[in-house]
Amino acid sequence: MRVYLLRHADAVAGEPDPMRDLSPKGQRQVADLAKGAGRTPLATVRAIEHSPLVRAVRTAQMLRMLTGSPLPLKVLPGMEPAAAPQKTAAQLGKTRRDRLLVGHNPHLATVAELLLGLPTDGIRLRKAGLLALERTQRPSRAHPYGGWRLLWYVVPDFAK
């Protein structure tokens, strides 16, 4: 079982924060992602799950549109930047299917740290960064989120 964590692309500055849309740079980041690694999770997931904040919604919408994917978009409660990452990690530990989540830092980075058993602030998830994790062990008392390993991590504008 695999989980793909995608941080939203670059957004415009401003208020109110939940309504910030993608910047032109963010749109280019999603376009770059859609040409390569962004297609990978779309082959095995049932939906593109995302935060209700506009920048995450737009990232999910653009990825779907630019890849031609027919997958539904689904708001996943508890994906906001300040939401409890432990709840998301526990949900992912129990899932039986591949999932693609589009969200924010610090939430997504902390979810990845919890799954991988890393210390807090051990992962820096860049904008439009896509992280692929694979579950190696189901949850247990010793490992409440299960055992996970990092498969890969890509950032569309890394070379720019």
Q: What is the pLDDT along the chain (160 residues), one digit of tens a residue?
A: 999 999 999 999 988 888 899 999 999 999 999 998 889 999 999 999 999 999 999 999 999 999 999 999 999 999 999 899 999 999 999 999 999 999 999 999 999 999 999 988 888 899 999 999 999 999 999 999 999 999 999 987 654 4
Architecture of 2-154 per CATH? 3-Layer(aba) Sandwich (3.40)
Residue ranges per structural domain of the chain: 2-154
Close Cβ partners of 71 (under 8 Å, ≥ 6 residues apart): 42, 45, 46, 47, 48, 64
Which long-range contacts (C-beta less than 8 Å, at least 24 apart) are formed by 139-143? 139/90, 139/93, 139/94, 143/117
The secondary element (H helix, E strand) that includes residue 58 is helix 54-67
CA distance 127 to 58: 13
